[in-house]
């Protein structure tokens, strides 16, 4: 606690002084300042965009976590795609709103220069934030593309052995049944028969395996197609983002004062004050010389008119 709040103390003090003055008969207008006067359309819109960008960046973090997940069998591409789509929509609509706001600021007459500066800074600030969010988005998409690529490569390398993989997995249950059979038949059948049986069993299982493999292949193709779609989607999104980027880039260039200090203009100000003072002095000099001239003229006029009235009227 390194500060002290004296608001209430001040309020009490003000109330006390007010009462004292009222007792002394001083009438004070009891007009209450309307608190929370209506926020202007502009600041409402700015706050809305600000919140929008904030929410978008939160969604971005979510997306980042998902996109970084490169495990082969824990794919959440549907969710990722959905989220990407939402964020894209968000950024586009935010960008639209922001340019509308920018237009509004530029077109509407500001009551004074400082208010204008104020609004322009807000727009500029929102722009920078939106740009950084867009950049994050682009980075994430790039990461995603990369991970999709990697997954595809992995899959390709697996594809060569895929039937083997499936057969081993499917062999296992039949393997257990085989041993059971063996137990049952050890004493009655010789090794050859057993071998034959095994072959039969194998044939059976491979047929089984084939029937199972069919749908898997089908899903894999589906899967690859969906991946292709995702990749295409992403590249088109990146493309659209580039458009937004170039739009925003020129606005950001105006915001290059990040490392400036608040007293940066102090010296200029001092210089200007000095100049202002000088010109004031000159003006004063001019005015005073004018003044004496006017006085002289009027004096001449008055004397002349007096003479005229006295002697000629």
Partner 1 sequence: MNMNSNTNNPNQGGFDQFGNNSFSIKEKQIESINRMLSLKASDSISSSKPGWQDVWKILIFDTYCSSIISPILTKGALRNQGITLYLPLHSDRQPIQDAPAIYFVLPTLDNIKRIAEDCKNKLYDNIYLNFASKLPNNLMEELATLTIQSDSVSMISKLYEQFLNFVTLEKDLFTLNFPKESYLQFNDPTIKDSQAQENIDSVVDSLFSVLVTMSVIPIIRCPKNGAAEMIATQLEKKISQHLLQSGVGNLFSNEMGSQLSSFYRPVLIILDRNIDLSVMLHHPWTYQALAHDILNMSNNRVKVDVTNDNVTKKVTYDLDSTSDYFWSANTGAPFFNVAGEVKNLIKDYTDSMEKLKQLTDVNVDLDSDDLSKVNENKSIGLGDLVSSTKEKKRLMDLHTNLATDLMKNIRDRQIDCFFTMEEAIITRTMFDKKELNSLITSPVVGEAGGKGTLEDKLRLLLIYYLSTKNIPTNEMETYEDALTKMGLDLTCLQYFKKTKAFNESLLAIVNQPSTSTKGASSTTTSTSTTASGFMSMLTGYQPNIETFASFFSQGVRSLLPKSKDLFVTRVVESIMDLKNTLDADYLYMDPKIQNKSNVPRRTTPFKEAIVFTVGGGNYVEYQNLQDYSKKSNKKIIYGTTELLTSKDFLAQIKTLKDHTN
Name the residues that contact partner 1, by CB under 8 A. 1-7, 9-11, 13-14, 17-18, 21, 28-29, 31-33, 35, 37, 39-40, 43, 46-47, 50-51, 53-54, 111-115, 117-118, 121-122, 125, 142, 257-264, 266-267, 269
Q: How far is the CB of 9 from partner 1 (least distance, A)?
A: 8
Q: HEC profile for 72-119?
A: CCCCCHHHHHHHHHHHHHHHHHHHHHHHHHHHHHHHCCCCCHHHHHHH
Nearer to partner 1, 162 or 233 (CB): 233
Min dist. Cβ of residue 276 to partner 1 (A): 11
Q: How far is the CB of 11 from partner 1 (least distance, A)?
A: 8
CB of 146 to partner 1, least distance (A): 10
Q: Kindly tell me which of 74 and 258 has the beta carbon lying closer to partner 1.
A: 258
Nearest to 250, CA basis, from 69, 107, 98, 128: 128
Closest approach of Cβ 77 to partner 1, in Å? 22
Q: Return d(Cα 21, Cα 219) in angstroms, integer.
A: 87
CB closer to partner 1, 46 vs 251: 46
Report the alpha-carbon distance of residue 92 to residue 149 in Å, rounded.
27
CB atoms inside a 10 Å sphere around CB 26: 9
- Cα separation, 298 vs 116, in Å, equals 47
Q: Please identify, using beta-carbon distances, which residue of 142 and 204 lies nearer to partner 1.
A: 142
């Amino acid at each position: 606690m390194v500060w002290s709040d004296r608001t209430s103390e001040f309020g009490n003090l003000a109330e006390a002084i007010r009462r004292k003055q009222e007792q002394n008969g001083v009438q004070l207008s009891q007009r209450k300042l309307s608190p929370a006067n209506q926020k202007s359309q502009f600041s409402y819109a700015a706050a809305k965009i600000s919140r929008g960008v904030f929410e978008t960046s939160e969604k971005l973090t979510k997306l980042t976590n998902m996109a970084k997940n490169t495990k082969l069998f824990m794919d959440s591409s549907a969710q990722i795609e959905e989220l990407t789509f939402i964020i894209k929509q968000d950024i586009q609509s935010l960008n639209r709103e922001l340019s509308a706001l920018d237009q509004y600021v530029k077109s509407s007459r500001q009551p004074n220069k400082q208010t204008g500066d104020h609004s322009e800074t807000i727009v500029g600030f929102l722009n920078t934030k939106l740009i950084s969010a867009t950049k994050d988005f682009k980075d994430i998409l790039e990461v995603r593309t990369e991970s999709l690529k990697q997954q595809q490569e992995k899959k390709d390398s697996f594809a060569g052995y895929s039937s083997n993989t499936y057969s081993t997995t499917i062999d296992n249950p039949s393997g257990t049944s085989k041993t059971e059979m063996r137990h049952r038949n050890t004493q009655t059948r010789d090794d050859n028969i057993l071998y034959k049986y095994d072959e039969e069993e194998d044939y059976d299982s491979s047929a089984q395996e084939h029937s199972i493999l069919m749908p898997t292949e089908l899903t894999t193709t589906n899967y690859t197609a969906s991946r292709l779609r995702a990749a295409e989607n992403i590249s088109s999104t990146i493309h659209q983002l580039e458009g937004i980027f170039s739009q925003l880039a020129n606005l950001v260039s105006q915001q290059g004062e990040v490392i400036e200090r608040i007293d940066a203009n102090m010296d200029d100000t001092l210089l200007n004050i000095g100049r202002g003072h000088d010109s004031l002095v000159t003006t004063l000099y001019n005015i005073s010389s004018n003044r004496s001239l006017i006085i002289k003229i009027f004096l001449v006029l008055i004397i002349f008119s007096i003479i005229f009235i006295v002697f000629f009227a």
